[in-house]
Amino acid sequence: MSDLQGKVIVITGGAGGIGEATARMAYSKGASVVITDREASAVESIAQTLGDRALGLAVDVTQREDNLTMIKVAMSQFGRLDGVFLNAGIEGEVGPFESRTDDAWKKVFAVNVDGVRFGVEAALPALRQSGSGSIVITSSVVGLRGAAGLSPYVSSKHAVVGMMRCLAAELGPEGIRVNTLNPGPVDNRMMRSIEEQASPGHGKDVQAAFAAKVPLGRYVTNEECAAMALFLMSDAASGINGNTYQVDGGYCAQ
């Protein structure tokens, strides 16, 4: 992967998991990073461990104004914007379709879909000012297929794949590339939540069953997902636009 020297990247959902791994890796490759999450303390702490090219900021992606502020801060602090990693997401509740309440659907879509929409809207003027750029949206392998018991989450991840394809077609002529990162099961907090909700008290058994479906025989790591996200941000991916990129250990090959 080429380096990211001089690039300015904004990352949502940066307090842990894929977001934190991406922030740390981007910084190590020479980028300046604005790391955001709902609570300031975690992302401020991450930024402090990195250095003066990193900034932590509290952002609720469900709020349009917070997204606008996020980009304004990036531009004020670093003077340009080259990429946004719209990674914030929630898994919601696990259970049968007919038991999912209106509130459960709304909560998942507010973060996973509206959060992406608001992030793109906020970033576009700054990316246009830069003359090019990359938008990477975290979807999932379940944004490409179904999964029992995860209807709101799966539907939201399909939605952002559709949004990405529309954006890639619209923004490509301006030199702005848009792609999705589609992780398989990742060894992090979100999967622990899904496992435990799927079979309370037997999360380890669910984990083993999921891992058995992956040809590599294991979950992928946050760092493996981060590497793909940053490749898509880099100049090495200058011809890549409008596609889904699975980091799934071969899960979708079956």
Distance, C-alpha 110 to centroid of its chain: 15
Per-residue pLDDT tens for 183-198? 988 877 776 777 777 7
The residues that bridge with 25 in the sheet, in sequence order, are none
Query: CA nearest 244: which of 135, 156, 166, 164?
Result: 164
Per-residue pLDDT tens for 57-79? 999 999 999 999 999 999 999 99
Query: pTM of the entire structure?
Result: 0.93
DSSP SS3 for 13 = coil
DSSP SS3 for 245 = strand
Per-residue pLDDT tens for 165-185? 999 999 999 999 999 999 988
Per-residue pLDDT tens for 223-239? 999 999 999 999 999 99
The DSSP code sequence of 181-244 is EEE-SBSSHHHHHHHHHHSTT-HHHHHHHHHHTSTTSS-B-HHHHHHHHHHHHSGGGTT--S-E
Out of 153, 219, 245, 251, the active site residue is 153
27 catalytic? Reply is no
The DSSP code sequence of 118-143 is HHHHHHHHHHHHHT-EEEEEE--GGG
Q: How would you class 97 by CB atoms within 10 Å of its CB: exposed for 0-12, middle for 13-18, buried for 19 or more?
A: exposed
